[in-house]
Structure 1
Amino acid sequence: MSNNLILDKLEGVFIRFKEVGQLITDPEIMGDMKRYIKLSKEYKELEAVTKAAKDYKNALDTIVESKDIIANESDEELREMAKMELEDLEVKLPELEQTIKLLLVPADPEDFKNAILEIRGGTGGDEASIFAGDLTRMYTKYCEARGWKISVSSFSEGTSGGYKEIVMNVTGDGVYGILKYESGVHRVQRVPQTETQGRVHTSAASVAVLPEAEEFDIDLKESDIRKDTYCSSGPGGQSVNTTYSAIRLTHVPTGIVVTCQDQKSQIKNLAKAMIELRSRIYAMEHQKYLDEISSKRKTMVSTGDRSAKIRTYNYPQGRVTDHRINLTLYNLAATMDGDIQEIIDKLQIEENAERLKESGL
């Protein structure tokens, strides 16, 4: 794409940015919470494009100025400085163009949302539960390193450790857009602690990442929800408290059931359970979108089909392989300690290339 074409596209962005900026200060718009939130998100996205666009336009202007100095200036020192600046900008310009192209491609609609992270032990019995526990630790450390808040909604412990299943809420900046790549089946190859012959076993755990639905995203009828309360239980079946603070919600039309027992307050558990219930119902609709894009993007095959095997953690060889992009890294210990950014970065690069191809930019 030529500089002029990029600048033409950016002109429309500048106009819309100014328009949205005026709209979000309109008292009438501010009174319509659903529209106000939508416009505020659009403003934030356009702000990022506008900032990158200004950097890009400044670079183009400086290149023109530098070329003019080189061609017409008699002062050798000034000409030398202009040459150095020109060389520097000619290296930076393609990077600035790439950034703008990506910003001009519409983001996936849910990328800026918080997420619900669900990990379930799959095939492999006790070892699968232990592995689900290892993945829980991996994601917890990763989220903490990014400054995200992670809280457990519900869990069921494995008989030998780990979790049969665990559901967590993750809140922070752009959580879903980053964690969505983790949806799918994760496979582990290692010698279980219970194995006396030293044989390598293969076990699996499934990870599901759902965008957290906001209150205005879905209209839930109170008459469609059955609410049950019960006593929370902790490790080993010990009673956490003697009040009926744990909540189980059943959405009658869909049969979706969610539970929350991590708070001592029934009101807090109910609020968290409602967020999860809304998100699970909302995810059913979002799945149609995922099914549509999964056929186009190999990075998202896992979310389009949560039974797809996406990654293998091989302990004897100390390697991690992501099957979607044929990436193999020999840093298993660091990965299990929460260092998964490199894998996510490479998946994002692949997806960005596919998004640009789709958009024709």
Structure 2
Amino acid sequence: MLQDKLQLFIDRFNEINDLLVSPDILSDIKKMTELSKEQSNISKIVDAAKEYNQIISDIEDNKMLLGDDELADLAKEELKELEQRKPELEAEIKILLLPTDPNDDKNIYVELRAGAGGDEAGLFVADMFRAYIKFAENEGWKTEIMNSSESEAGGYKEMVFLVKGESVYSKMKFEAGVHRVQRVPATETQGRVHTSAITVAIIPEVDDVEIDIRSEDLKIDTMRASGNGGQSVNTTDSAIRITHLPTGLVVTNQDQKSQHKNKDKAMKVLKARLFDMQEQERMDKEGADRKAQVGSGDRSARIRTYNYPQGRISDHRINLTLYRLDVIMNDGLFHEIIDPLIADHQSKLMEMSGV
């Protein structure tokens, strides 16, 4: 019974309340943080459970009043509203009870890389970067460039940036994969449509405690920065390249004038990449069910096509096509694609979980 299932969350919430004021927990910062986080994670379910219990109680009370001549009309009206709200709330609760991805509340690193298509791919990296920054602004998130590598045509071979805010990973994880663009390049004299592609990686930010890197496993090189970074970039050896020897992962950073700041940023990205690599290996072992559960399947899969001549954007995973390409890119309206992806993901989770 749904009420019995929900009562477990209410009981646990109350238990945590008692624990948080106990002397043993007050003197243990780590345990207090863990309990506070757990309480925060179940608070929405608890609020919904209390509302659900109240609705059940109110329905019973109003049914009893239907035989009262003076209050029958009022009870009938309230009963109609309650019985309309009850299935709506049950649907919300089903979603709240779905298994969650432990990374959903984390900040992320977004890595955009030019793939097939040469200069056009690099220009599309720049377009996607601007569109994602706009989307982040719309969501009230903060962004910070970690590293960039410019291409000759004015785009980027690579762009890495940090996105901070509420539920960032839970929304942006669906952007991971290959994005294909079809348009007529500015240099094309015959008006022919060219196809190019970029890859998008969405990597959760990690705490230092989550990943341990031995100093002897690192090779750190300093070098002169390249690109249009102004005079100081080209005259100081401030750029950093860190190689993680056991895995061969390489991270470079040259966006800051300070070598120390570049090293610090590069280390943060390296830790996130290593953690992400470990997570991918773990999911591969656990099989397809786990991949479906966290919503991040094959990263080499082509997930979306942006067709400029037709003004069309198509997400191939859910057969969604919108003829709003310009406004989505210019105004960063990615929620028009991400919201249906989340709904599809939740319905699949319901099937798997039997909710």
**Equivalent of 1:357, from 319, 344, 351?**
351
Output one character per residue of 1:298-356: Cα deviation in whole Å (capped at 9) or x when no partner.
97898321110000111111111100000111111111121010211101101111111
Q: CA deviation at 1:20?
A: 3.1
Aligned residue number for residue 335 of structure 1? 328
| Contact 2:221 2:241 survives alignment (8 Å) | yes
Q: Which amino acid aligns with 1:65?
A: D
Q: 1:74 corresponds to which letter in structure 2?
A: D
- In the alignment, does 2:340 pair up with 1:346? yes
User: Alpha carbons of 1:304 and 1:33: their partners in 2 closer, same or farther (altered >3 Å)?
Assistant: farther
Alignment deviations for residues 253-297 of structure 1 (CA, whole Å, 9 cap, x no partner): 212121223333334333322221111110011113554788348
CA deviation map 1:101-154 (0-9, x unaligned) = 221222111111110100011111111111111111111100111111111111
Q: How far apart are the structure 2 equivalents of 1:299 and 1:251?
A: 30
Is this contact kept in 1: 2:149–2:227, CA < 8 A? no
Tell me if structure 2 keeps the 8 A contact 1:287–1:304.
no
> Who is 1:207 aligned against?
200
Alignment correspondent of 2:42: 46
Q: Does 1:318 align with 2:314?
A: no
Partner in structure 2 of residue 73 of structure 1: 68
One of 175, 181, 184 as aligned partner of 1:182: 175
In 1: Cα distance, 2:350 partner to 2:152 partner = 47
Equivalent residue runs for 1:37-116 within 5 Å: 37-70=33-66, 72-75=67-70, 78-116=71-109
Q: How far did 1:34 drift?
A: 5.7
Aligned-residue offset at 1:227: 2.5
Evaluate the alpha carbon distance shift between residue 111 and residue 31 of structure 1 in structure 2; reply closer, same or farther with a 3 A threshold: farther
Would the aligned equivalents of 2:293 and 2:349 in 1 still touch at CA under 8 Å? Answer: no
Within the alignment, does 1:220 sit opposite 2:216 as a pair?
Answer: no
Cα distance change of structure 1 residues 264 and 89 upon mapping to structure 2, 3 Å threshold: farther
Q: After superposing the two structures, state which structure 1 stretch, 244-253 or 232-241, moved more.
A: 232-241
CA–CA distance in structure 1, aligned partners of residues 295 and 8 of structure 2: 35
Go from structure 1 to structure 2 and tell me whether the alpha carbon gap of 1:28 and 1:265 turns closer, same or farther (over 3 Å shift): farther
Cα pair 2:59 2:79 within 8 Å, conserved: yes
Residue number in structure 2 paired with 1:275:
268
> Which range moves more in the overlay, 149-158 or 19-28?
19-28
- Contact residue 176 and residue 299 of structure 2 kept, 8 A: yes
Contact 2:283 2:290 survives alignment (8 Å): no
* Cα distance in 2 for residues equivalent to 1:127 and 1:15: 57
Deviation at 1:240, TM superposition (A): 2.9
Secondary structure in 2 matching 1:240:
helix
CA distance in 2, matches of 1:232, 1:27: 54
Counterpart code for 1:213: V
Deviation track 1:75-118 (CA, whole Å, cap 9, x = no partner) reads 1xx43232222222222211211111221222111111110100
Indicate conservation of the 8 Å contact 1:116/1:169, yes or no. Answer: yes
Structure 1 residues 145 and 299: CA distance shift in structure 2, 3 A:
farther
State the SS of the aligned residue for 1:304: coil
Amino acid at match of 1:73: D
- What amino acid is the match of 2:8? G
Taking structure 1 as reference, are residues 237 and 196 closer, same or farther at Cα in structure 2, changes over 3 Å only?
farther
- Secondary structure of the residue aligned to 1:235 is coil
Q: Deviations 1:182-201 (Å, cap 9, x if unpaired)?
A: 00000111111111111111
Asked whether the equivalents of residues 177 and 201 of structure 2 are also in contact (C-alpha less than 8 Å), the reply is yes
Counterpart mapping for 1:184-263 below 5 A:
184-235=177-228, 238-240=231-233, 242-263=235-256
For structure 1, list consecutive stretches of 5 or more residues without a partner in the other structure.
none
SS in 1 for 2:296: helix
Q: 1:25 and 1:167, CA in 2 relative to 1: closer, same or farther beyond 3 A?
A: farther
Amino acid in structure 1 at the alignment position of 2:69: S
Residue number in structure 2 paired with 1:16 = 12
CA contact (8 A) 1:290 1:303 kept: no
TM-score by length of structure 1 reads 0.90
Pick one of 120, 126, 145 that aligns with 2:113.
120
- For 1:81, the aligned partner's letter is L
Q: Which runs of 5+ in 2 are unaligned?
A: none
The Cα RMSD (Å) is: 2.5
Does the CA contact (< 8 Å) of 1:121 and 1:128 recur in 2? yes
The one-letter code of the counterpart of 1:61 is S
CA distance in 1, matches of 2:253, 2:17: 40
Counterpart-to-counterpart distance in 2, 1:216 and 1:35? 15
- TM-score between the two structures when normalised by the length of structure 2: 0.91
Does structure 1 residue 158 correspond to structure 2 residue 157? no
- In structure 1, what is the Cα distance between the partners aligned to 2:81 and 2:243? 60
